[in-house]
Structures are given as C-alpha cells and as structure tokens.
Amino acid sequence: MIAPETGMKPGERYRIDSVERAPQFSGFFLDGKYYLGPELQTAVGWLEGQTFVYDMVDPKGEPIYPDRVAGRIEALTLVMADGLRLAVERVPYEAETVQPAAAPETLAPKRAMASPRLTGKLVVITGASSGIGRATAHAFADEQARLVLAARDGEALAEVVDECAARGAQALAVRTDVTSNEQMQQLAEQAAEFGNGRIDVWINNAGVGAVGDFAQTPLKVHEQVLQTDLLGYLRGAYVVWPYFKAQQQGILINTLSLGSWVAQPYAAAYSASKYGLIGLTEALRGELVGQPNIHVCNIYPAVIDTPGFRDGANYTGHALKPPPPVYDPQRVASAMVNCALKPKPQVTVGSAATIARVAHFLLPGFSQLSGWLTRRGIQRSPAIETSSGNLFTPPSGERRVEGGWRQPTRPSPLLVAGAAMLVGGCLLAINRSRGRHR
C-alpha cells in the first residue's frame, strides 16, 4: 500500500526529475516499487511508508546511499538527506502504448503490457503457500504459465490459486508434503495430467528451518529439516526426471541459499541440507550428457524478506530476526522466471550473498566469526518459549509473501563491529597468502 503522504497513486508511474549536478534517477516508480526500465522485472528500490529505499551498489558492492535510504517522498517531492529536493512527476505512459498510425517498431508495449513469455508452459512450484514460492507463483502467472501449486496448507493454496486466476493464469492446488514419497509421486502425476502429459518446469522451493544449539535441538527436528530441505528436493527431482527424459526437455530449478556456500552456525541441519543440494545438482548435471535441453538451475538468494524467520522452529529461547540486508522476494521470483526462459546453472540474488561467499573463501576462521556474531545477536534478543514452528504442521495465521522485515534502520554497533572484523580478517588472510608466495 502506498502512503498517501507521498502523493502517488496505485497503477500510475512516476519519475524523479533530473537536475544538473544532482543524483540521477533514470527509472520510475510503479505501485510503490522502483524499476530501472519497463523491460526489467526486478525492482531496485521500493517505498517503505514515505522512505525511498534504493538497493543499488557501487562497483565495489557497497550501497550507494547509507542504509540504502535515498530519502523521503513528501507530496511528490523527493527530499534527500542533504536537503536537496527533487520533483516527482507522474508519467502518462498509457498514451504511449496506443498509437495506431505509428510504425510497428514504435508500438512495442511496456513490459507490463507485453505478451506473456511462458504461455501454456506447465510449471510446478513446491512451497507455494507463502514467501518465495507465493511470489514465484504470481510471477509465473503474469507470464500465463499453467501452474501446479504444492504445499501442506490447502487453505493458503486455494488463496494463491485465486490470486493467479486474477492474473489470468490457470492454476491447480495439490496439497503435498514433500517429506512423503507417495504424495510427491501423486503431485507429479496430477501435474502431468493438468499439463496434458508434459511438465516443463519443476521448482523445488519448499523449505523449513530450525535455529538452536546443535545438542539442545531435538534429533527429530534435525531430521525433519533434512527430510524437507534436502530429501524433499531429491524427491522432486526423482519424480519429475522420467518426464524430462521422455520429453528430452525440462528445467529443474532449486532454491538454495547463501547457506549453500557459508555454513550457518546454530542451524546445522539447514546448512547440511544446503551444502548437500550442491552435490545433488552437480551429480544430476553429470548424468545429462547428451541431453542438452534438460537443465538444472540453482538459485542462491541472500537473506529474503519472507515469513520464514517467524514460522521456523526456534530452540534458542530468544526471538529471531534476519540480519540485514534483507531483500525483496520478488527478486527471487524474477530470477526463477528468467531461468525458465534462459536456463543458467546458478544465479545469485542479492549482492550480500556474493560478498559473503568471497569472505568465506578468503577468511579461514569465517565460521567461528559467524558463530560468535550469531550467538551474540541471539543473546541480545528478547526471551521467548522454544517452538517447533512449522516443521511438523503448517503455520497458523495469515500466509503472505513478505515477512515485514525490510525496515530502514541504522546498523547496530554489533553489526558494524562484525563487518570491521570481517574486512580485517579478509585483509589478514590476503597478506598471509602473499607472504607464503614470496
């Protein structure tokens, strides 16, 4: 919802006026999000109330604006931190798309009005009831794919089916627990029937998490995480593989994470799952010799704004909050669509994931540093009761795409100290490496 104080209205585009010797904003706002161009699906900024969060980084991977906050929008005026005021103007883009007398090349519609690119393709999405899965369902619905949506929460799935239908797409809800061999097999069979014998894209996305000291977290909890986050993906690949082989075509997309490269202390089973998925996908790719049209794509998101941190199992005895920066789930959904159009072995979403991967490579003691920071962060959080969360049953309450974590806040002293230690450690590792090669 757009804050009325901004002066903006839903469904209309707005651009920031360009002024000499002032920051240049070449994109546009639409429904509270900021895009660089109509053909680019991923928002690089958004409004949080009146705050304009601009998620752009410089060539070194650093945010262009402190805390990624470009300023505040008041009555169609962007007020920047230094007091500079730039006009925000409505763009009457509707008239641009209706020009009967123009040459064909000038009639190229805006992306929002373009022809769908995946019309009729059968796409299966597990974990589609909330978070990344729900956002991905919306993104594929916008491309007019035929959707088969799977999750344990049948009521939430019905809502997503309605949301996809409102976007003009056909969708089928199949209540599925990815820890069940039988239910996964039935999911594949129903999907193929809905797709007239074909399955074009299968997205393994269902996931759970458990945070807590390894020895104090029940063994059955660790096992359930592995059953969902690792074996659930293996089951998905297993049941769709025969269809891909028979078609000699298909795209398997797996939602991995930053945790596939950087182990997450106090989330041992989650880390084991994500590391294991790299081995699984590499092994599957090794079996695809002579099958150039079957692809396995891995998506590596950084920390994403989903309900997962709230719904997951928590055995720490303290409230959990995702560490910044936290990214929009729509960015992952757009990456999924792009992989369905042009498959890539791996796609990273969020510059923080890339930075953490490099730091983990350069700093041998990164896991110990991460563990110390995680422990300190947990201990400073309010005390709460332990809970198994959504591990064994679907979570209660409203199911939604976003978790509401993306709030513009200044970095805590702990985060600043941790970043300084990380940079210092990386420099130390580089110097030691140079010393060994002298």
* Residue pLDDT, tens place only, 303-338: 888 888 788 888 988 887 777 788 899 999 999 999
* C-alpha torsion sign, points 300, 302, 307, 311: positive
Give φ, ψ of 412 to 5 degrees.
-70, 155
Task: Decide if 284 contacts 234 (C-beta within 8 A).
Answer: no
Helix, strand, coil: what percent of the chain each, to 5?
40, 20, 40
Between these two residues, 99 and 304, which has the higher pLDDT value? 304
Strands of the 146-151 sheet, one edge to the other: 171-175, 146-151, 122-126, 201-204, 250-255, 294-301, 346-349
Query: What confidence tens digit (pLDDT) does each residue in 101-157 have?
Result: 333 333 333 344 467 889 999 999 999 999 999 999 999 999 999 999 999 999 999
Cα separation, 94 vs 98, whole angstroms: 7
Q: Would you say how long the chain is, in residues?
A: 438
Distance of CA 110 to the CA centre of its chain: 24
Average pLDDT, the chain: 81
**Residue 67, pLDDT score:** 77
User: Does residue 87 come out as left (phi exceeding 0), alpha (psi in the -120 to 50 range) or beta?
Assistant: beta
35 three-state secondary structure? strand
Asked if 76 and 8 touch (Cβ cutoff 8 Å), the reply is yes
Q: What pLDDT is attached to residue 426?
A: 47
**Count of CB atoms within 10 A of residue 162's CB?**
11
pLDDT of residue 423: 46
Q: What is the band of 181 on the pLDDT scale with cuts at 50, 70, 90?
A: very high
Classified as helix, coil or strand, 323 is coil
Identify the pLDDT of residue 408.
Answer: 53
Token reading at 387: 């809970």
Highest mean pLDDT among 86-100, 187-201, 384-398: 187-201
- Lookup: tokens for 263: 């182990």
* pLDDT single digits (tens) 254-280: 999 877 877 788 899 999 999 999 999
pLDDT attached to residue 319: 80
Indicate which residues carry an active-site annotation.
270
- Collect all residues with Cβ–Cβ distance below 8 Å to 92 and sequence separation of at least 6: none
